[in-house]
Amino acid sequence: MVLPAATPRIRSGDTEHVYRPDSELYYLTGATEPGTVAVLTGGAEPRFVLFVAERDPVHELWHGPRLGPEAAAEAFGADEVHGLSELGRRFPSLVADADRIYFRLGEDRALQRRVVEVLSSGRSRAQRSGRGPRGVIDPALVLDELRSIKDEWEVHTLREAARMTVEGHRTGIAFLQPGLGEWAVEAAVEGSFRAQGATGPGFATIVGAGSNACILHYVKNNSVVSEGDLVLIDAGAEHDMYHGDVTRTVPAAGRFTPMQRTVYDVVDAARGAGVAACRPGSSIDDIHRAALRVIVEGLVDLGVVSGAVEDLIEGGAHRPYFPHNTSHWLGLDVHDPGAYVRDGSSRRLEPGMVLTVEPGLYFRAGIDGVPDGLSGIGVRVEDDVHVTSGDPENLTAGLPSAADEVEDLVGSG
């Protein structure tokens, strides 16, 4: 298995985005420096070989100190650590006797060329010796399954990321009031993350006021909050590379209108049903269907759709108003890897899994059949859940979701 570091990304000109280490490399090694390459070999004598950037006073003047091979050997416990300049010379022999190479194509072009060269030479070599790599496989085939089940340290880290996320939401909601820019609420939330020691937001923060809440991935955050708006805040802190991911929808003026409250209560009840379904042996689809049933029953009560609930679900009558799935895996990536379907069936939950539960209702302006008073209302409520051997652990339960409690949080800062 060959795992390169993430490639630094240019934001504009010669200015880079803040560097975020590669999740797979970090998961298996703990290494975070740009340029690092890990090679893990199997066979009778498995080895962990690490290549890291050498110390460079000029580079370190601008970017800070590097570990270098000697310190990296002590930090990561590799069997061998070499300078990155040694990679070209040593790489072919490390993988020469492998029958396959686990490597993610398309990310590191320079390293990919080395892999292709080894495959090319290995093809002719294998004809005579019977040894040599003959194919490339995505590391996800092995790593996604491992990453699906969090160990005790990972769950602890996710609890801390969830705690920081909850506090950030509390700060943003307390700061919220009509007349503020969405960007100001975003700044309050993200400022709280950093003040607590988080790396920062794990993804682009969404602050959608009014009809902007109906845009699922709205990130412009450039509108002004009006008196009667609902404001959807979807944000998560990154802590030690792991993520929180929470959504709350709150009334800017501190009180829901009767129609807003009705929609909100439906969504929050669906969230509660989804959280309760997060038990070992349940499937990821069971969570979605538990939340979806509540959503469709609410749509019937609101007069948006009519008919038998099961028929409406099977016919997809909810999709114009609830177009997304209820859950995604959560961990080192906000949308963590892992199959949602296995052998043609919805994946069964196991202790150690962590996922979101985030139903929503979005009545976008212009959708046919939306009753008066609903147009422009968008509500999503999201929590992070750890699957245990018993009752689910709601990692973000510290942030209230009940309508009365949410109202009390608004403008309290």
- Give catalytic status of residue 144 as yes or no: no
Residue type, 123: R
Q: Among 108, 190, 229, 234, which one carries the catalytic annotation? A: 234
- Give catalytic status of residue 242 as yes or no: no
DSSP element (H, E) containing 231: strand 230-235
> Cα dihedral angle (258, 260, 266, 272), rounded to 10 degrees?
-110
How far from 107 is each of 7, 103, 146, 176, CA to CA, in Å?
8, 10, 21, 41
- Give catalytic status of residue 63 as yes or no: no
- Give catalytic status of residue 217 as yes or no: yes
Q: Nearest Cα to 293, choosing from 276, 310, 278, 281?
A: 310
Reduce the DSSP state of residue 10 to 3 states and report it: strand
- Give catalytic status of residue 152 as yes or no: no
Q: Nearest Cα to 299, choosing from 277, 321, 280?
A: 321
Q: Among 245, 268, 333, 384, which one carries the catalytic annotation? A: 245
End-to-end CA distance of the chain: 51
- Give catalytic status of residue 297 as yes or no: no
Q: Among 20, 55, 125, 324, which one carries the catalytic annotation? A: 324
- Give catalytic status of residue 382 as yes or no: yes
- Give catalytic status of residue 328 as yes or no: yes
- Give catalytic status of residue 14 as yes or no: yes
Between CA 371 and CA 326 the distance in angstroms is 25
- Give catalytic status of residue 386 as yes or no: no
Between CA 183 and CA 76 the distance in angstroms is 41
Q: Among 238, 362, 386, 407, which one carries the catalytic annotation? A: 362
Q: Among 82, 170, 288, 328, which one carries the catalytic annotation? A: 328
- Give catalytic status of residue 234 as yes or no: yes
Q: Are 406 and 400 in contact (CB under 8 A)?
A: yes
Q: Among 11, 89, 109, 217, which one carries the catalytic annotation? A: 217
Give every CB contact of residue 237 below 8 A, 6+ residues apart in sequence: 161, 164, 165, 168, 193, 196, 198, 199, 200, 201, 202, 243, 244
Query: So which residues are the catalytic ones?
Result: 14, 217, 234, 245, 324, 328, 335, 358, 362, 380, 382
